[in-house]
Amino acid sequence: MADVKLIPLEVLLGNPERASAQISPDGKRLSYLAPLDGVLNVFVGDVGAGNERPVTHDAGRGIEGYTWAHDNRHIMYVRDRDGSENYRLYDVDLETGAERDLTPLDGVQCRLIAHRKRFPNDVLLGLNKDNPQLHDVYHLDLTSGALEKVVENPGFLGWVVDDDLKVRGAVTPTEDGGMLILVRDDETSDWRPLVEVPPEDAETTGPLGFTKDGTGMYLQTSIDSNTGRLVKMDIASGAVEVIAEDPNYDITGAIMNPDTREIDGVMVYGDRVEYRIFDESMRADIEALQQLNNGDLGISDRDHDDTTWLVAFDSDSGPVKFYTWNRAAKSATFLFDHRPELNDYPLVPMEPFAFTARDGLTIHGYLTFPADVERTDLPAVLVVHGGPWTRDGWGLDTEAQWLANRGYLCVHVNFRGSSGYGKEFLNAGNREWGAKMHDDLLDAIDHLVAQGIVDRERVAIYGGSYGGYAALVGATFTPDVFKCAISMVGPSNLNTLMESFPEYWKPMLVTWHKRVGEDPDFLWSRSPLSRVDDIAIPILIAQGENDPRVKRAESEQIVAAMQEHGIDHEYAMYENEGHGLTKPENRLDFYHRADRFLAKHLGGRAQ
């Protein structure tokens, strides 16, 4: 490792040079996020001209995502204040440069529900203005900025909009932890049940949209199947047509034609993303694009004529590469790398692996090894994903590259309860926080130690959100396994976590009770704070001051307990941050702390 070039944290984990590229609906202009005075803003220019200029001027936390309006004139984006997640919708007029706050409402969260090609001036928004737990549907006139409530929310968690921009579908939780999908014939009709989703299928079932004529609905569903299939259901009869399914993995994405509303293809995520294309004209494009680069292909954008695409290739050992794709000529034009400086450094591959847990369940994950080392007795960092009902995937993981570059084996584990592997695997995590979900992490380390790859005496555990909880569990439940732990916005007490959820999460509490637990004594038994006396390893804890999901008390109560017991720890509280670190100066401060912390306790390198 001595000869391997040290990658600066700023290059790996600071702001990208360019990201989130899109094309305008007419296919003539290119947009992307890029730093303006160190803050991410939207830049726009003519495709291929290199004349992009900033069109937004945020000087705070930066813009994390945006979308073109179908009028070719406006760009819309949401932004909160200091991590509160009370998002407001803004736009910028590209002709005049005027920027507007379209939802100037304090303490209200805006959600973008629908904006369609056929209705370039119309936007449907969700606002919890009248009831903080529920988002009513509002119509936004993009020209005038006028807002009008069009649907009062009777208790629904989500909405489905048809091709005529009418709200005709909805989702609501049931008392047993299941879900009810409802429909109505038009905006004056009564709601009626379409699908009753049992609790075991609730996380692997949901509506994707209506067919063109509005008589059918596309669903991902695991009802009558282990994995989430893509189906089309006739609304009148309930008849189901299976469009795509896989015996091992859920269908993780669908490509819907914006004009015909037909399904052009789907994605299945095993170790890597696999496309299954049904539209013959698209098949030739996908096959040609996959010859262009060995990374995982993503279609980032398509113009209104569907003649020009913007595509990105995510590779495990290089920056994300963006291209435009001319469908008629079947030719690609390279645009840029999102972090071009990475081309100057020795990145390493991400390797899928699998092992058998102690109860026989097969668990998948990824290993990222340091370059040019013997794969024996390595120090390791077990990185636990958040959610927990999501999964780790293949591709450029800048944290994994950072850890491998410092000399550690980076271990990602899709423990039970992770999504994508079917409902049986996901439901195997029910009520297993701090128990079998944690055992899967321990079994991964045991597996790698048994192979001689990992030095059992030099293993750290690190994660954010649920991963932060897992790190605290590692330090409290199994401190003999780990040398140190790093928790980012990690819950320490499951009772206080659920009691302090934001109002708009309260309707989902029944799901949390089903997945995590409800009895206060049981939840306390699975809480790291209940075993603070057992901590025997140093912990680095990071917290966003304004986190609405995992309140600062979750970190501060375990920090206080460690102070009382004289336990070695480091605590970093970041002002003006929420559930994670958005501002680059805060993000880099945390990673520098973690860099030094791991080098001190595992013996690796640090910047």
**Residues noted as catalytic:** 465, 547, 579
For residues 79 and 110, give the distance between their C-alpha atoms in angstroms, rounded to a whole number.
9
Could you tell me the two tokens for 338? 């999102």
- Backbone Cα Rg of the chain: 24
Contact 255, 232 (CB under 8 A): no
For residues 408 and 412, give the distance between their C-alpha atoms in angstroms, rounded to a whole number.
13
Could you tell me the two tokens for 360? 């026989």
Contact 313, 321 (CB under 8 A): yes
For residues 508 and 177, give the distance between their C-alpha atoms in angstroms, rounded to a whole number.
9
CA torsion sign, 469 to 472 to 478 to 480? positive
Contact 383, 399 (CB under 8 A): yes
The enclosing H or E element of 157 equals none
Please choose, from the candidates 537, 535, 542, the residue with its C-alpha nearest in 3D space to the C-alpha of residue 593. 542
Q: Show the CA angle centred on residue 42, arms to residues 39 and 46, nearest 5°.
A: 140
Q: Partners of 273 in the beta sheet?
A: 269
Largest CA distance in the chain: 71
Which spans in 526-602 are helix H? 552-565, 584-602
Please, how many CA atoms are within 13 Å of residue 383, restricted to the half-sphere of its CB? 22
Task: Catalogue the long-range contacts made by 586-593 (C-beta closer than 8 Å, 24 or more residues apart).
Answer: 587/13, 587/14, 588/9, 588/10, 588/13, 588/14, 590/488, 590/542, 591/9, 591/13, 591/402, 592/9, 593/540, 593/542
Contact 546, 208 (CB under 8 A): no
